[in-house]
Structure 1
Amino acid sequence: MNQAGVNEKYKVSPFYVLFLVHSMQTGLGVLNFQRDLAKATGTDGWISILLAGLIVHVLIWVIYKIFSIVPGDLIYANNHAWGKWIGNFFSLLFILYFFALGMTIIIGYINVVHVWMFDEVPSWAFALVFLILIYYIITGGFRTITGIAFLTVIFSYWLLIVPLYGFKYADFTGTLPIFDHTLLEIMKGTRSTSLSMLGFEMILMFYPFIKNAKKSQKYAHGGALATTLLILLIYFVSTVFYSQEQLVLTLWPTLSLTSVIEFPFIQRFEYITVSWWAIVIILNMVIPLWAASRGVKRLFNVQQKYPLWVMSIIILLVNIFFFDVDSLFILNKMINPYWVCFLVIYLPLLLILISIKKWRKRL
């Protein structure tokens, strides 16, 4: 047992961290990040993607450095750095963020299904199906979550046919000019890709569930690198497939790209993409709600299923009474850019405080 109270039999091998990080990052943002990125940086969007990837790698290093000093999870690290009351306050902020992220992904994907497939089916019906599935997976334990993360990554990479097919209609002059934007514009573009890069911070909660957790750092970096390369590929295909004007006006560029794929036996390939994306995105829904309910369990010493019930009911009620594009916009604004900025500032600050406490003990 460690500080977070995790028995060895519930832990997973370090290798699976690659799939946990990569599957969490590859979700809703991949479908439409190009639009905001094109508005901010145009043909220099690839620079913003590389910069965002670099920031993620630095923050992953910070997380592992924190846990090399205070092995445990986010709750334990916060209490160690700030004391019980202030530490619990910051832990509650993270729990609210995890919950808001999970709800945003659920509502966002339901919006995609409404736009592309079933506009007359009420959102609460989709939400109910997802929440039942999410509850079943989470109550199966973290090893079940990890197994599904592994399978979703393995079974989803056939979707690379979508960007590769786009090369058939490529106009490579669309990538020009390069280095044509200011540093401020590049930074704005980096902020635009943040929803596609978020997810690595779940390590803060599932770190105690990893065997020989220190050895998993290279796999966490590997998962983040795979996401960066995938986003680079999708953005490159989008810039050679669309003009910059089209890219700015297209709401779901990745999905719109699938509409040009034609087979003799399939007329609407985007239906397959949207449907299969449910398999890809389910972990984006599961892991944040697992992290949020796990955080409540750690803070208030209750069974994890009870906060999970409450969160599920709230999400269902939101889908019944408040579901619209405006509510999705508000949730996105809560997470991006404000929470991204908070992560970039808070995690290094937490490391500094913990390092200072360690240094004082040595004196």
Structure 2
Amino acid sequence: MNKESTITRNQLFFLIIKFEIGVDILSLPYQMHLSSKGGGLISVLIGGFLTQLIILLCWLLLRRFPSSSIYQILTQLTGSWIGKILTATYIAFYLLMGTSVLVNAYDVINRWMLQFTPRWAILALFLFSSIYLVRENLRTITRVLVLISFLILPMILLISYGIKQSNPLYLLPLTEAGWSRIIVGSKETLMAMFGFEFILVVFPMIEGKSVGKLKTILAANVTVVLLYCFTVFTCQTAFSPQQLDLMPEPIIYLLRSIPLGTMDRVDFIFLPIWLISIFGAISAYYYAASYGISYLLKQKSHKKAVPFVVLASCIIAYLPQRREDFEFIGSLANSSAYFFLIVLPFLLLILSYVFKKKEEAET
């Protein structure tokens, strides 16, 4: 594998952070409030722990085939025909996940910034910029996305202004909702942290040994859990429970209430930064889907598949007309993630042990 097709572990660390902090960061404090009340922080920690277990499960499969992506592993374990069918379903999964992020991003932009801008114009911006970036080799894409990942710092700094008006007493009692609802609420955190599934495709392209790769991914995931804890804590202590009941995206309301010099709308600083960050996550899903198509059609490069993937995603994102349709796409994507990130990798891992299949270069 040439250098243009590999990335370092340091780059991987920033990529995972970038991919896991997505659209849901805006609404996670609200979701935690609805499900867990003051125990939202506990739900976030439980969800982060569950995410670590899912990453470990995927790694146990990938380490047995250190030079193969999930697409190649499917063929090796299930045969040519079944492998092709499952490869097509994984391609559809990545396309669906990318479309879900795109739809939710458009929904936020349309409601908070560009209320009178036609949907096709906003989607066209994503269309052309995604095609331009995703057609490049993995190392070039990674360099751009790592650069974008540093935009998370000003996002967190802006959110941290809410600490000035925080009242920790709003969290009490921590277990008001009951442990059952707190545990169920961790599902929202789990869905908010989807993004690590990119490793199923690029794992063999990461430099270093399998154990080192795992440590990097887990460290990045812990970092995201801490950032989510900080965000949930800030919003749940800056607003009373009665106020949070009325705020589906409390971070934006928080920023609108902050005086920052001559700026009357701090959210107009935050949202463009957030939007650029979201673009990186969408591009990752498009790359994973394009790479799968190139493998399925036995092409040397993913470049030819990129325009078709991005165009299909934008067309699907253009079809929904109601808020309920947007939510349906997001729900469908999150539900399918459980199968493609937990059930199927677990079954493949079992098959690899039953049929004693693995690569000799296991590390």
- TM-score normalised to structure 2 length: 0.92
Q: Equivalent residue for 2:205?
A: 209
Which residue type is aligned with residue 76 of structure 1?
A: Q
Q: Equivalent residue for 1:4?
A: none
Are the structure 2 counterparts of residues 30 and 264 from structure 1 closer, same or farther at C-alpha, using a change threshold of 3 Å? same
* SS of alignment partner, residue 69 of structure 1: coil
Alpha-carbon contact 1:194-1:340 (below 8 Å) kept? no
* SS of alignment partner, residue 150 of structure 2: helix
Select 1:15's aligned residue among 10, 24, 29.
Answer: 10
Q: Equivalent residue for 1:317?
A: 315
Deviations 1:319-347 (A, max 9, x none): 44434423211111102244235523322
Q: Equivalent residue for 2:332?
A: 334
* SS of alignment partner, residue 175 of structure 2: coil
Q: Which runs of 5 or more residues in structure 2 are unaligned?
A: none
Q: Distance in 1 between matches of 2:144 and 2:322?
A: 30
Alpha-carbon contact 1:56-1:200 (below 8 Å) kept? no
Q: Distance in 1 between matches of 2:247 and 2:220?
A: 29
Are the structure 2 counterparts of residues 247 and 347 from structure 1 closer, same or farther at C-alpha, using a change threshold of 3 Å? farther
Q: Equivalent residue for 1:111?
A: 107
Tell me whether 310-319 or 201-210 shows the greater mean CA deviation.
310-319
Are the structure 2 counterparts of residues 283 and 213 from structure 1 closer, same or farther at C-alpha, using a change threshold of 3 Å? farther
Alpha-carbon contact 1:163-1:233 (below 8 Å) kept? no
Q: Distance in 1 between matches of 2:43 and 2:82?
A: 35
Describe how 1:51-90 pairs up with structure 2 within 5 A.
51-71=46-66, 72-90=68-86
Q: How many angstroms does 1:181 deviate by?
A: 3.9
Q: Distance in 2 between matches of 1:361 and 1:268?
A: 56
Deviations 1:126-184 (A, max 9, x none): 11111111111111211122112221222330222233211111111111112344443
Are the structure 2 counterparts of residues 32 and 232 from structure 1 closer, same or farther at C-alpha, using a change threshold of 3 Å? same
Alpha-carbon contact 2:135-2:306 (below 8 Å) kept? no
Describe how 1:94-105 pairs up with structure 2 within 5 A.
94-105=90-101
Q: Equivalent residue for 2:215?
A: 218
State the percentage of identical aligned residues: 22
Are the structure 2 counterparts of residues 347 and 183 from structure 1 closer, same or farther at C-alpha, using a change threshold of 3 Å? farther
Deviations 1:41-79 (A, max 9, x none): 111122221111112212222222212211210011122
Tell me whether 7-16 or 50-59 shows the greater mean CA deviation.
7-16
1:155 aligns with 2:124: no
1:28 aligns with 2:23: yes
Tell me whether 75-84 or 333-342 shows the greater mean CA deviation.
333-342
Q: Equivalent residue for 2:292?
A: 295
Are the structure 2 counterparts of residues 213 and 254 from structure 1 closer, same or farther at C-alpha, using a change threshold of 3 Å? farther
Q: Distance in 1 between matches of 2:275 and 2:8?
A: 26
Q: Distance in 1 between matches of 2:77 and 2:44?
A: 32
Select 2:356's aligned residue among 341, 355, 358.
Answer: 358
Count of residues in Structure 1 that have an aligned counterpart in Structure 2: 357
Alpha-carbon contact 2:7-2:205 (below 8 Å) kept? yes
Are the structure 2 counterparts of residues 210 and 337 from structure 1 closer, same or farther at C-alpha, using a change threshold of 3 Å? same
Tell me whether 198-207 or 301-310 shows the greater mean CA deviation.
301-310
